[in-house]
Amino acid sequence: MSPADPPVSDRHMLERLVCPVTRATLRYDASRQELVSAAAGLAFPIRNGVPVMLVDEARPLDAAPNGAAPPQSGTP
């Protein structure tokens, strides 16, 4: 188990959570400490080991974390 992996009991809890918007399954992003709902286009933060499943706290997937602007692609 790598340091970013949740303990086994937490992993089972994370596997049972669903998106509060679409009820779709979530993907755990260990590097960003988020639960990602591709169906809703949202990433829910995990703070101090606790998933914050509030839509108002979720990051849109097209936005960069920490409020930074997403990287631009294409020509300037």
Question: What residues make up the domain containing 21?
Answer: 8-61
- Whole-number pLDDT of residue 38: 96
How far CA 4 is from CA of 29, 49, 55, in Å, comes to 9, 11, 24
- 72 within domain boundaries: no
Instruction: Show the tokens assigned to 35.
Output: 């639960």
- 73 within domain boundaries: no
- 66 within domain boundaries: no
pLDDT along the chain (76 residues), means of 10: 60 87 94 95 93 96 66 51
* Number of residues in the chain: 76
- 56 within domain boundaries: yes
Number of structural domains the chain divides into: 1
- Whole-number pLDDT of residue 14: 80
- Whole-number pLDDT of residue 10: 77
- Greatest Cα pair distance, the chain, in angstroms, is 48
- 70 within domain boundaries: no
- 51 within domain boundaries: yes
